[in-house]
Every structure is written in structure tokens, then in C-alpha cells.
Structure 1
Amino acid sequence: MLQEVLRDIDRLKERLDRARPLTPAEARRLREYLLVEWTHHSTALEGNTLDLRETRVVLLDGLAVGGKTLREHLEVVDHRDAIEWLESAVREGLPLSEGLIRELNRLVLKSTLPEEAGKYRRGGARVAGSRHVPPPAWDVPFLVRETVREYDARRGKEHPVALAAWLHWRLVFIHPFTDGNGRTARLLMNFSLMSGGYPPAVIRKEDRERYLDALEEASVRGNLEPFTRLLAERVKEGLCLRLEIVGGEPPEQSQGPAGQRPERPLP
């Protein structure tokens, strides 16, 4: 099933690469849509209670939402700033580096936990509900640098979606920071995808149980396929969204279980 989704992705990307470019107005609307979706779902996965509309009000209108905490407002603003920095890094062609990883975490935490933002944890870590025990703090700098080296070695040797899934999993496996590891990992995942010419993927809050189970399977059993499959489905949705905006219909795709076609997202 994973290989079928990856083949669909390859066909969709070829179709999109041949399509007309977005107009400036289309590009602006799509960017706003993704900025809100990505920020809302990534922060909601970590417990932020701002809903999608409220996230839009905070990010695009610059307004506060009654009944929500200051921390929740700051989390979504910081996440937006991290996305904007990431977009700039992709445009400039920056490679993955230890400094880039730490900068993304610094941006994610700059208003809510500034004293720890971008700094490696100094103690042990436990992930609630997980059997995985992250490595000791003294191994973290070496493991992050090894992650960068292995990422560079894997590039061009495996599908870009599989590579992005591996990078995300690897960061949460190490759990290098005191806080913000999940948001940082999802930003890195999309840095990898976007650097390879793919749209960013949004892991939705509705995916939370499947998402955590898939990461647990990878960390405890060494089986990364369930998480790669989840990411592949979200990448496929992002490609379909862009094809709809430029007016190109996606090619015939593999049918899912019970002969049903995968759901196509709407702008």
C-alpha cells in the first residue's frame, strides 16, 4: 500500500511540475491557507485549544481571542514565525544543519520558554504514554550531528517522502530539546519536503492517535512504514490541493480499501 501511494505522489508531482504557475493572488491565498492549517494542527497536536477559525484571527487579523490563554496565542504566533523563517531557508537553499535544527526550536519556543529555546536538554527525558526512552542528554549533540550526516547520505537514495519521515522520526527519537520537539520535528519534515520541491504536509489533529502510534512503532519496533504511509497520504493531499488550484485534475489514482478513492481536500 505504501508503494502505491508513493507512485501516486510521483504521478501527481509530475503533473504539477508541468502545470502553469500560480498567479500572485492564488499563491497568496494558498500560502495563507497553509500557514493557518499547518500552525493550527501542529500546535493542536500538542494541546493548544485555539480552533481553526481562532488561529486565523490571531495570525491573519492580529486579534486576541477571548477565553484563551496568552501562552496559546504566543504558541501560534511563534509557529508562524518559524514557518516564515523555514520558507526563507528553503528559498536560499540552506542545507540541513545542527544550527538550522536548533534555530527552528528557538523560534518555536522564543516567547513561551525563552530560557530553553534552541538549547539541548540537560537532563533525562520521558515521553508520556510511550515505552520509548530517549537517549541520555550527554549523547544528544553527537546524535543530532549524526542525524545531519545520515540525512545527507540518504538524500538521492530513497524517496523524498520516506526521507522526510525518517528525519521527523529521528528527531523525536532523540528528543533533543526540553520542549517543542514535536513542532520542531514537523517543521524539519516539511523543510525536507519543500527543499525537494514538494508541498508541506499537514499532520492533522484528527490524526493524533494514528500519528503517535506510528511513531511508537518506529521507535520501539524499528518499523517506520506506518508513519511513512501517514506522511505520504498527507503529501498526496497537498499535491491534489495545488492541482485543483491551478485547474488541473489529478491523474487516475489507486483506490483505497473497499474500492474507495482517497478523500481530496478542498481549499
Structure 2
Amino acid sequence: MQTPRRLSSTSRSEPNARRPTQSRSSTGYWTSSTTWSVGGQSFRLRVSIIQQLHRLALEGLSAYTGNWRPGDIRIGKSSHNPPGAYLVAGLMEEMCDWVNDRWSHASPITLCSYVMWRLNWIHPFNDGNGRTSRAVAYLVLPAAAGHRFPSRVTSPN
């Protein structure tokens, strides 16, 4: 199993400010500053992050983890017909662009809600869309809010 990347943060309001002390959580290194970075770069929602979260959510449950669905799909008793498989990659890029374009002025709740709704509407995976949309939303909410939400390890490594 791959180890998830460490998330860290720096201050958006004071670029030259001293970095606060970091505390370790089960998901990485977090602080209560306002801008997060991944690998030293400012956080941006990317399809690769979504695909990695899907891999983690469905590890051992599906051979197709992290891959867009290859064909059209129906959702149980829902009247919603997700867009054709040939549109998925573009729609996912558009979703990430929408979030990134509004990152500095939309509320964290708006960004989180949009990600959860839009990912489920697109339904990019054969299975695990709900799990993945929640994981992405739970990543976006604290990152956009610039806060570390309380967490604890819920399963052994």
C-alpha cells in the first residue's frame, strides 16, 4: 500500500510569517494556518488526487480502482442518468477547475458541497462514487477553511 502524501500549510495572509509548530496526525502534518500545500506547492484540487482517494477507498474491493468507468452506467433506483463515459475525464477536470477558480473567495461549505454533489452527479467510477465523494469533500472542507479538524486513527496500520 502506498503511503499518502503529507499535507502541510503555510500562511496566506502573511507570506513571510514564521511557520507555526506542526503537529502530527494520522493523515499527515497539519497546522491551523490558512493555505495548505502538497509537496511545497499550494493546494489545488486535481483529478489525480480524486483518483488516489478512490484507490484508497476501494483497495482490495475492485480491480478498477482509480480508473474512470469504461462505459455508461445506471444508478440503482435513481432517475438520474450520469453523463456518458466519454465525457467523464473532461467533466472531472471542469469540476476541479471550478473549485480551484473559486478557492480564495467561495466559502469552504460551498466548495465542499459542490464537490460532493458534482462528483456524485458525474458518477465517474463503476463503484465507490459515494465513498470517494465524501473523501474528497472531507479533504476540501478543512483545506479551504484553513483548519485542522479533530481526527484520530480509526484502524490499525
Tell me, in whole angstroms, the C-alpha distance in 2 between the residues paired with 1:136 and 1:179. 16
Gaps of 5+ in 2: 1-19, 31-35, 151-157
Q: 1:103 is paired with a residue of what secondary structure?
A: helix
Aligned residue among 46, 60, 82 for 1:97: 46
2:101 corresponds to: 153
Instruction: Report the CA distance between 1:149 and its aligned residue.
Output: 0.9
| Residue-pair matches, total | 119
Gaps of 5+ in 1: 1-20, 32-83, 201-237, 239-267
- Shift in CA distance, 150/91, structure 1 to aligned 2, threshold 3 Å: closer
Aligned residue among 71, 92, 98 for 1:123: 71
Tell me, in whole angstroms, the C-alpha distance in 2 between the residues paired with 1:181 and 1:136. 15
2:13 corresponds to: none
- Shift in CA distance, 151/91, structure 1 to aligned 2, threshold 3 Å: closer
Matched, 1:134 2:82: yes
With normalisation by structure 1, the TM-score equals 0.40
Tell me, in whole angstroms, the C-alpha distance in 2 between the residues paired with 1:160 and 1:138. 30
Structure with the higher fraction of residues in strand conformation? 2
Tell me, in whole angstroms, the C-alpha distance in 2 between the residues paired with 1:101 and 1:124. 20
Instruction: Report the CA distance between 1:94 and its aligned residue.
Output: 3.6
Q: How does 1:214-225 map to 2 (within 5 A)?
A: none
Q: Name the aligned partner's letter for residue 107 of structure 1.
A: L
- Shift in CA distance, 195/176, structure 1 to aligned 2, threshold 3 Å: same
Is 2:108–2:142's contact at 8 Å kept on the other side of the alignment? no
Aligned residue among 114, 135, 156 for 1:187: 135
Tell me, in whole angstroms, the C-alpha distance in 2 between the residues paired with 1:133 and 1:149. 23
Instruction: Report the CA distance between 1:190 and its aligned residue.
Output: 1.2
Aligned-residue identity in percent? 32
